[in-house]
Amino acid sequence: MIDFSLPEDIIELRDRVSVFIRDEVMPYEADPRQEFHGPTEDLRHELVALAKAAGLLSPHGPTEFGGLGLNHVGMAVVFEAAGYSTLGPLALNIQAPDEGNTNLLHQVATQEQKERWLAPLVAGEVRSVFAMTEPDGGAGSDPSLMRTAAHPDGDDYIINGRKWLITGMPGASFQILMARTFDAGGTDMGATMFMMDNDTPGIEIVRVLNTIDSNSPGGHAEVAYNDVRVPASQILGEAGKGFRYAQVRLTPARMTHCMRWLGAAVRAHDIAVDYAKQRQAFGKLLGEHEGVGFMLAENEIDLHLCRLAIWHACWLLDQGEQARNETSMAKVRCSEALSAVVDRSLQILGGRGITDDTVVERIYRDIRAFRIYDGPSEVHRWALARNIMKRN
């Protein structure tokens, strides 16, 4: 039997985060330093400093480098609390892609690589990117189509290719790049992950894409790699095992996305409930009309079931299970159900919902991308269906 009761220290930490988000972070939600492509670095550093002073920075990070070292269930609780504000994940240094990169480096990197890249990342001093997705028929939902290539040259590799939808590239300090790798004889070894500083010669930001969301600093960029020279010592893990390491990163990252967006959906729902308790229409409170009341009830159901799905998948991960099916199911259900929660909340607010008088409009735009990144719902359903057909 799974015990969903929370340890006292996690409850205390969750409550501290909730108070911090409401008192310290939410007042920044109208800060003009939130630009079209996301919050500025100046705003990020200011928020990170507040979290550090409160002892809440990097709850996911290893204690070796100053993080709080929470397990997956602990993260589920704390990340939801942080997600209550659109700026909460940024303040606690748990925003994607940094959060996923932190886990990957902690699991796979050498000690030297950890000192160089993981330590400042956990401290909130720098941002990072994860460069895998490609344009023009390259790697996306099907990573086997990867076109970016790395060829050996002495003790180095020369990388050429193009990536796009690379979150946070402008202003980030370093990246983890996936490239198809070849040996000296030209044999395809499979994908490899390379660590590199973003000022490495040959890395060029081609353009910053205009997208529907604006919650990540730097937005999403298209990046070209022109004869980028990277020492073999900067390979993350082993050459040719990049797809295996990608699962180390992506499987738990699906859940942390769910955690953060659960908090955002709870916020949208709370705003809708408050409005339904105050707004009068046709002789009674808005929430007393069956159509609105049923939407609020559906929101409560979706929020509750998503939380259970997240906690169950996280419990499995904490038991050492791969839980790929469970995380896929949770990602699909949460991305769709939480989007519906925000949509209903906006509908309840009526005309106010499409303005920036509340944060619901912002959440509505940002959460739509959740059904696409880290695997569209259709890809997860397809993978689950294949596994079903393989059963005896």
Enter the DSSP assignment of 369.
Answer: G
Give the pLDDT confidence score for residue 2 in this predicted structure: 67
Residue 383 has pLDDT above 70, yes or no: yes
Could you tell me which CATH number the domain at 128-239 has? 2.40.110.10
On the CB side of 377, CA atoms within 13 Å amount to 12
pLDDT tier at 110 (50, 70, 90 boundaries)?
very high
Give the pLDDT confidence score for residue 346 in this predicted structure: 98
- Across 48-57, 85-94, 371-380, least confident range: 371-380
Report d(CA 159, CA 226) in Å as an integer.
7
CATH homologous superfamily of 8-122 equals Acyl-CoA dehydrogenase/oxidase, N-terminal domain (1.10.540.10)
Q: What would the mean pLDDT of 130-144 be, rounded to a whole number?
A: 90
Provide the residue type at 49 as one letter.
A
Give Cα 87 distance to the centre of its chain: 13
Q: What would the mean pLDDT of 50-59 be, rounded to a whole number?
A: 98
The per-residue pLDDT for range 332-381, each reduced to its tens digit, is 999 999 999 999 999 999 999 999 999 999 999 999 999 998 889 999 99
Report d(CA 124, CA 92) in Å as an integer.
9
Q: What would the mean pLDDT of 271-294 be, rounded to a whole number?
A: 96
Nearest to 60 by CA among 7, 108, 103: 103
Give the pLDDT confidence score for residue 1 in this predicted structure: 61
pLDDT tier at 142 (50, 70, 90 boundaries)?
confident
In Å, how far are 44, 125, 261 from 87, measured between CA atoms?
9, 17, 12
Domains in the chain: boundaries? 8-122, 128-239, 243-390
pTM: 0.95
% pLDDT > 90, the chain = 92
The per-residue pLDDT for range 161-207, each reduced to its tens digit, is 999 999 999 999 999 999 999 999 999 999 999 999 999 999 999 99
Domain 243-390 annotated CATH 1.10.490.10: no
